[in-house]
Amino acid sequence: MTSTDQQPFLSIKDLKVHFSTEDGTVKAVDGLSFDLMRGKTLGIVGESGSGKSVTNLTILGLHNPDSTTVEGSIELDGEELNGASDKTLEKLRGNKMSMIFQDALASLSPYHTIGTQIGEVYRKHTGASKKVARARAIEMLTRVGIPQPDVRVDDYPHQFSGGMRQRAMIAMALVCDPELLIADEPTTALDVTVQAQIMDLLKDLQKEFGTAIIFITHDLGVIADIADDVLVMYGGRCVERGPKEEVLRTPQHPYTWGLLGSMPSLDGPVDVPLNPIPGSPPSLLNPPSGCRFHPRCAFVEKVEGGRCSTERPLLEIVDGRGKACHLTDDQRREFFADLAASKAH
Amino acid sequence: MLRFLVRRFIGAAITLLIISAITFMLFYAVPRDPARIACGKVCTPETLEVIRHNMGISDPLPVQYWHWLEAIFVGRDYSGFGHCDAPCLGYSFVNREPVLATVWDRFPTTASLAIGSSVVFLIFGIGTGMLAAVKQGKALDKIASSGSLIASSMQIYFVGPVALYFLVYQTHLLDQPSYTPFSENPGAWFNGLLVPWLVLALIWTANYTRMTRSQLVESLTEDYVRTARAKGLSRRNVFFRFAWRGAMGPIVTIFGLDMGVLLGGAMITEKTFSLQGLGMLSVKSVFSNDLPMLLGVMVITAAFVVFSNIIVDACYALIDPRIRLA
């Protein structure tokens, strides 16, 4: 390994994304930092409105510049993207970094054939002829497992099934062999079998090309399958992050406990009721003071001096593992053991 | 495609049949006897009967209607006029001119007015609408939006004379409106119609500005537009190939209907600028109880609306591959 391989491929530092709306400023992302190495997968988990999608649209520069202010640094392979020109970003998008969107039917143009839509990315970034781009589109469709790719290449999205559309979307995102792939809930709308196939496909492609992947989801099962590292977002901030095994086995933040507790377990008894997190995600227009999770947290009383509602817990990261919570390590161990015990019964 | 055309043409024929039948009946609801008017001051019952017979209005209503329909396909013999070849729409009660020839004579004026002004309002309406959508919420958008609201609330009989006064009589910038056939002198054709085009277009432009803006504002927020940006395509490319493509369908639909209406004659515009088009012809036939002429104009105008609708639906299928014609 050369020394450049030790550098993070994508480095986000203290990212703040604020929208101005008629009602005030929405702090969609409020001080988020993370690094991503080549060939690794970062899973970002959180409820709707936690800022995960906004973060990734901002990386690609797809936010509305008129109503959005972006602060902080987004460095891709040493190049600062925050404040970069349209031209610079257009050269990177679809090429060095690309994105798979959630709803493939809405995200593919109904007016152009699948082949045109895949081919035009290739033509834009390589200057290839229509003929070459078409051949490339067929090659990509083959790679993502579309049957009869030389025929289906001339189909329109509405002639594809849901799973095939998602594959076409992936083919489109990968046509220029991107080094960073952002997948925004790419499997949410699909049934489990197709979901598994698509996850395998992404893993194979990552192995082949060493792509760095950001995988956004609210499904911890998917995270367990694909991620190397996990970042849990709540109210526009990171509340916990670390290697997948550690976050899933020994979660340290009450919000992560809640997420895990609200998941059905396959090997546990069937009649155990699910434990949803009480309350609803915070308003980002008037976010709660202190720790943004405190109005929904069961352990607020355990922290002395009411610090949860007054003081923002800092995210301390040691060896890539960290959490933003005022509970002491002893308290955390005790409460988590209690929770695990109550779930087992 | 063939099935679509056959189905739509049958539908069109039925529509036209119903329209002509209704016009026929309405005409007889008016308590005026065209034969009595044609007969003049000194009128014996015998002459009146002869005139009735020559006009073809002595038969019962359904028989008359049948004769009228028959004439379109096989022609008709008129005592006093001789034979009228198919397609025959009869002769005017008022000046004895053949209806079809009169309509064809007036049609170029109406068509020139409709096509010329629609070129103007499409260019300006869609252009302004696009600018307003791109500059959404900014000064330019506000000017375009409020300007189009003002323009669309104007009336031709107001704007027309005002434009004539300032552009023609006071400043002599433009020519006095008149119709010269294009084949005769294209320059005179253009100059003579420029003022009516601009005035008619001013009012229609506003509709297209507002429609284009709202359609584009909507399609610019579509997910596939965002995807196109995420692929690295330029703003311009995304705007025209993706957002505009999505906005186009409804605009084409409305334009097809508008074009059908315009080809039926813009009465007020024709009156304002003293142009002899289909609009004036139909107004005149109503007031002079000229049934054959009125029927002819009505059916031909209705045919424009019906056929432009069929063309629009076919165009829609070209724009949007999700629509299949059947």
Q: What pLDDT sits at residue A344?
A: 63
A183-192, A260-269, B4-13: least confident range = A260-269
Mean pLDDT, rounded, of chain A: 89
Say if A111 is an interface residue toward chain B (CB within 8 Å): yes
Please count the other Cβ atoms lying within 10 Å of the Cβ belonging to residue B239. Answer: 20
B230 in a structural domain: yes
Q: Interface pTM (ipTM) of the complex?
A: 0.87
Q: How many domains does chain B have?
A: 1
Distance from CA of A57 to the nearest CA of B (A): 9
B228, B235, B319: residue with CB nearest A109: B228
Is the C-alpha dihedral spanning A186, A190, A191, A197 positive or negative?
Answer: negative
Across residues A100-128, what is the average pLDDT? 94
Say if A184 is an interface residue toward chain B (CB within 8 Å): no
8 Å CB contact of B224 and A103? no
Say if A101 is an interface residue toward chain B (CB within 8 Å): yes
Q: What pLDDT sits at residue A2?
A: 43
8 Å CB contact of B232 and A121? yes
Please count the other Cβ atoms lying within 10 Å of the Cβ belonging to residue A255. Answer: 27
- Give the nearest chain A residue to B248 (CA atoms): A111
Contacts of residue A186 in chain B, CB cutoff 8 Å? none
Residue pLDDT, tens place only, A23-77: 889 999 999 999 999 999 999 998 888 888 899 999 999 988 888 999 999 999 9
B224, B230, B233: residue with CB nearest A60: B230
Contacts of residue B320 in chain A, CB cutoff 8 Å? 110-111
A99, A103, A125: residue with CB nearest B230: A99
Structure tokens at B245: 């493509």
Phi, psi of B91 (to 5 degrees): -120, 150
Q: Is the pLDDT of residue A120 over 80?
A: yes
Across residues A100-121, what is the average pLDDT? 94
Q: Name residue, tokens 């186009």.
A: B248
CA atoms within 13 A on the CB side of A31: 7
Q: What pLDDT sits at residue A270?
A: 64
Q: Name residue, tokens 């002429």.
A: B293
Q: What pLDDT sits at residue B58?
A: 78
Q: What pLDDT sits at residue A326?
A: 92
Q: Is the pLDDT of residue A1 over 50?
A: no
Contacts of residue B246 in chain A, CB cutoff 8 Å? 110-111
B212 in a structural domain: yes
Distance from CA of A88 to the nearest CA of B (A): 10
A66, A93, A112: residue with CB nearest B232: A93
Contacts of residue A103 in chain B, CB cutoff 8 Å? 223
Which are the contacts of B107, defined by CB distance < 8 A and separation ≥ 6? Answer: B277, B278
Q: What pLDDT sits at residue B113?
A: 94
A43 within 8 A of A217, measured Cβ to Cβ: yes
Q: Name residue, tokens 């995807």.
A: B227
Q: DSSP code of B239?
A: I
Say if A68 is an interface residue toward chain B (CB within 8 Å): no
B179 in a structural domain: yes
Q: Identify from A67, A87, A107 which residue to disrupt to test chain B contact, counting B C-beta atoms within 10 A and taking the largest count.
A: A107
- Give the nearest chain A residue to B137 (CA atoms): A66
Contacts of residue A86 in chain B, CB cutoff 8 Å? 234-235
Torsion of CA B110, B113, B114, B118, to 10 degrees: 180
- Give the nearest chain A residue to B317 (CA atoms): A111
CA atoms within 13 A on the CB side of B276: 9
Contacts of residue A111 in chain B, CB cutoff 8 Å? 242, 245-246, 319-321
Q: Is the pLDDT of residue A272 over 80?
A: no
Across residues B219-223, what is the average pLDDT? 93
State percent of chain A over pLDDT 90.
Answer: 54
Q: Is the pLDDT of residue B153 over 60?
A: yes
The domain that contains B174 carries what CATH number? 1.10.3720.10
B232, B319, B320: residue with CB nearest A125: B232
- Give the nearest chain B residue to A101 (CA atoms): B227
Chain B positions contacting chain A at CB under 8 Å are 137, 222-224, 226-235, 241-242, 245-246, 319-322
B140 in a structural domain: yes
Q: Is the pLDDT of residue A98 over 90?
A: yes
Contacts of residue B233 in chain A, CB cutoff 8 Å? 90, 94, 120, 124
Mean pLDDT, rounded, of chain B: 89
B326 in a structural domain: no
Distance of alpha carbon A43 from alpha carbon A259, whole angstroms = 14
Q: Identify from A21, A90, A170 which residue to disrupt to test chain B contact, counting B C-beta atoms within 10 A and taking the largest count.
A: A90
A177-181, A285-289, B101-105: least confident range = A285-289
B137, B229, B320: residue with CB nearest A111: B320
Q: What pLDDT sits at residue A211?
A: 92
> Which amino acid would we find at residue A263?
M
8 Å CB contact of A107 and B223? yes
Q: What pLDDT sits at residue A181?
A: 95
Q: Is the pLDDT of residue A267 over 70?
A: no
Q: Is the pLDDT of residue A193 over 60?
A: yes
Q: DSSP code of B83?
A: E
What is the span of the domain harbouring residue B217? 108-278
Host H or E run for residue B84: strand B82-84
Which are the contacts of A162, defined by CB distance < 8 A and separation ≥ 6? Answer: A104, A105, A189, A190, A194
Please count the other Cβ atoms lying within 10 Å of the Cβ belonging to residue A22. Answer: 4
Q: DSSP code of B85?
A: P
8 Å CB contact of B230 and A62? yes
Contacts of residue A94 in chain B, CB cutoff 8 Å? 230-233
> Which amino acid would we find at residue A188?
T
The pLDDT confidence band at residue A342, using thresholds 50, 70 and 90, is confident
Counting one residue from A and one from B, how many pairs have CB atoms under 8 Å apart? 69
Contacts of residue B234 in chain A, CB cutoff 8 Å? 86, 90
Instruction: Note the helical H segments in chain B.
Output: 2-29, 34-39, 45-55, 61-74, 99-134, 139-152, 156-163, 186-220, 223-230, 235-238, 244-263, 267-272, 278-287, 291-319
8 Å CB contact of B230 and A95? no
Q: Is the pLDDT of residue A122 over 90?
A: yes
A62, A86, A109: residue with CB nearest B224: A109
The pLDDT confidence band at residue B4, using thresholds 50, 70 and 90, is confident
A93, A94, A101: residue with CB nearest B223: A101
8 Å CB contact of B230 and A93? yes
What is the total residue count of chain A?
A: 345
B25-39, B147-161, B281-295: least confident range = B25-39
Nearest to A343 by CA among A273, A276, A244: A273
For the range B113-116, what are the long-range contacts, defined as Cβ-Cβ under 8 Å and sequence gap of 24 or more?
B113/B193, B113/B196, B113/B197, B113/B200, B113/B262, B113/B266, B113/B269, B113/B270, B113/B275, B113/B277, B114/B259, B114/B262, B114/B263, B114/B266, B116/B193, B116/B196, B116/B197
8 Å CB contact of B231 and A93? yes
| Terminal C-alpha separation, chain B | 7
B69 in a structural domain: no
Distance from CA of A176 to the nearest CA of B (A): 10
CA atoms within 13 A on the CB side of A203: 13
Which are the contacts of B265, defined by CB distance < 8 A and separation ≥ 6? Answer: B110, B277, B278, B279, B280, B281, B282, B297, B301
8 Å CB contact of A111 and B319? yes
B59 in a structural domain: no
Secondary structure string (H, E, C) spanning chain A: CCHHHHCCCEEEEEEEEEEEECCEEEEEEEEEEEEECCCCEEEEECCCCCCHHHHHHHHCCCCCCCCEEEEEEEEECCEECCCCCHHHHHHHECCCEEEECCCHHHHCCCCCCHHHHHHHHHHHHHCCCHHHHHHHHHHHHHHCCCCCHHHHCCCCHHHCCHHHHHHHHHHHHHCCCCCEEEEECCCCCCCHHHHHHHHHHHHHHHHHHCCEEEEEECCHHHHHHHCCEEEEEECCEEEEEEEHHHHHHCCCCHHHHHHHHCCCCCCCCCCCCCCCCCCCCCCCCCCCCCCCCHHHCCCHHHCHHHHHHHCCCCCEEECCEEECCCCCHHHHHHHHHHHHHHHHC
Distance of alpha carbon A61 from alpha carbon A51, whole angstroms = 15
Say if A109 is an interface residue toward chain B (CB within 8 Å): yes
In sequence order, the β-bridge partners of residue A71 are A16
Q: Name residue, tokens 């739509």.
A: B8
Structure tokens at A330: 């002893």
8 Å CB contact of A111 and B235? no
Q: What pLDDT sits at residue B280?
A: 92
B167 in a structural domain: yes
